């Protein structure tokens, strides 16, 4: 009976919390213990040993320093990355709505905070879950970003990535560029003209070769099968 009551309370928190208006400010700390309190009675006990000591630890307290994740900047984000990696592993895989408030096609946010990212459908949410699992556990480019402490927002920005979402070159180059510098880094010493980042085809989308959630493929080899070229996370 106690377990049923706990589950019902958690279910109500998930869906009542999703009707809040979008804002960049957290709720009152007294009402914003957030999703963590459901499993972690003492939130301070799961903080890294190097973390400064804080009083009255709850999700709203964390948000005061760490909610830059909501901005979706193209940069590392240890807070978001560590939370998602801890809760998306072969031994501990939670459903998204354990921590996120969700109303299909209306809002997707965080329980206890007035912060939302887009309005995904149920199919979008299922695809996001699949991509997150890949990001946390695969041998693809997404997991290389996870190990570098770059979460979903680092590539996809503030909005939730939908099924047909792609990433523009400018987003990739904000971390890996500028393009001239990247091209200089990847120019072969024996034949500089054979440079995948200085293509004779002109501007080529990064995602033609670099696939985040599946094996990457070298587009150059479609025609130049005799070239010896490697690409990270190609599954080979």
227 with 220: CB under 8 angstroms?
yes
Q: What is the per-residue pLDDT across 13-27, written as a single tens digit (0 to 9) for each?
A: 333 333 333 333 444
Q: What is the mean pLDDT of residues 135-157?
A: 95
With 70 as the cut, is the pLDDT of residue 175 above it?
yes
d(CA 214, CA 231): 13
DSSP symbol at 236:
-
pLDDT for position 12: 34
How many other β-carbons are positioned within 10 Å of the β-carbon of residue 138?
A: 19
pLDDT for position 33: 60
Q: How many CA atoms lie within 13 A of 212 on its CB side?
A: 24
Residues 6+ apart with CB under 8 A from 152: 80, 128, 131, 132, 135, 161
pLDDT for position 111: 85
Q: What is the per-residue pLDDT across 24-80, written as a single tens digit (0 to 9) for each?
A: 344 433 344 678 888 888 888 888 888 888 877 777 788 788 876 678 899 999 999
d(CA 82, CA 63): 14
Percent of the chain with pLDDT over 70: 84
pLDDT for position 131: 95
Which of 149, 162, 146 is CA-nearest to residue 75? Answer: 149
pTM of the entire predicted model: 0.80
Phi, psi of 6 (to 5 degrees): -65, -45
103 with 19: CB under 8 angstroms?
yes
90-126 burial, b if ≥16 CB within 10 A, otherwise e?
Answer: eeeebebbebbbbeeeebbbbbbbbbbbbbbeeebbe
pLDDT for position 22: 33
Q: Mean of the per-residue pLDDT values for the chain? A: 83
Strands in 33-112 per DSSP E: 88-89, 92-93, 102-103, 107-108
218 with 130: CB under 8 angstroms?
no
Report the range of poorest mean pLDDT among 15-19, 105-109, 183-187, 216-220: 15-19
Per-residue confidence band for 236, with pLDDT thresholds at 50, 70 and 90: low
pLDDT for position 69: 62
Task: State the sign of the Cα–Cα–Cα–Cα dihedral 46, 50, 55, 58.
Answer: negative
pLDDT for position 20: 31
DSSP symbol at 235:
-
């Amino acid at each position: 009976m106690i377990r049923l009551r706990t589950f019902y309370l958690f279910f109500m928190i998930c869906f009542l919390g999703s009707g809040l208006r979008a804002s960049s400010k957290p709720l009152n700390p007294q009402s914003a213990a957030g999703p963590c309190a459901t499993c972690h009675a003492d939130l301070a006990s799961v903080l890294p040993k190097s973390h400064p000591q804080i009083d009255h630890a709850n999700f709203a307290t964390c948000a005061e320093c760490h909610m830059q994740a909501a901005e979706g900047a193209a940069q590392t984000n240890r807070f978001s990355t560590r939370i998602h990696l801890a809760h998306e592993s072969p031994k501990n895989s939670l459903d998204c709505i354990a921590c996120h408030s969700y109303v299909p096609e209306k809002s997707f946010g965080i329980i206890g905070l007035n912060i939302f990212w887009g309005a995904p459908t149920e199919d979008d949410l299922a695809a996001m879950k699949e991509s997150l699992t890949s990001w946390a556990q695969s041998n693809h480019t997404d997991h290389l970003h996870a190990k570098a402490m770059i979460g979903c927002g680092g590539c996809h920005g503030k909005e939730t990535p939908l099924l047909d979402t792609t990433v523009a070159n400018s987003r990739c180059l904000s971390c890996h560029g500028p393009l001239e510098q990247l091209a200089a880094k990847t120019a072969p010493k024996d034949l500089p003209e054979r440079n995948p980042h200085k293509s004779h085809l002109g501007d080529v989308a990064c995602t033609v070769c670099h696939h985040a959630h599946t094996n990457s493929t070298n587009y150059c080899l479609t025609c130049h099968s005799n070239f010896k070229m490697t690409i990270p996370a190609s599954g080979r």
